[in-house]
Amino acid sequence: MNKSGKTVTVEQTSSAIRRPPIQEMTLIGLGLNKLGRKSVLPDNAEVRGMIAKVKHLVRVVEGK
């Protein structure tokens, strides 16, 4: 967990089928691999960069 304790919740909204392998691997790195699955992750630059790579496949769920 990061020092500030902030987290971001990401939900997969689209399939990784027929997407480049790097996008599929990024989803797996975020803890997502099925539609509707959610993952709570630390809110840091690395995670935000991964989200940006697959922004068309996921959505950030507003939280605390």
Query: Which CATH architecture best describes the domain 7-61?
Result: 2-Layer Sandwich (3.30)
Q: How far is it, in rounded angstroms, from Cα 53 to Cα 1?
A: 22
3-state secondary structure the chain: CCCCCCEEEEEECCCCCCCCHHHHHHHHHCCCCCCCCEEEEECCHHHHHHHHHCCCCEEEECCC
Give tens-digit pLDDT for 30-42. Answer: 999 999 999 999 9
d(CA 55, CA 3) in angstroms, rounded, equals 25
Quote the pTM value.
0.88
Token pair recorded at residue 3: 């020092």
Per-residue pLDDT reduced to its tens digit, 4-57: 789 999 999 999 999 999 999 999 999 999 999 999 999 999 999 999 999 999
Is the predicted pLDDT of residue 1 greater than 60, yes or no? no
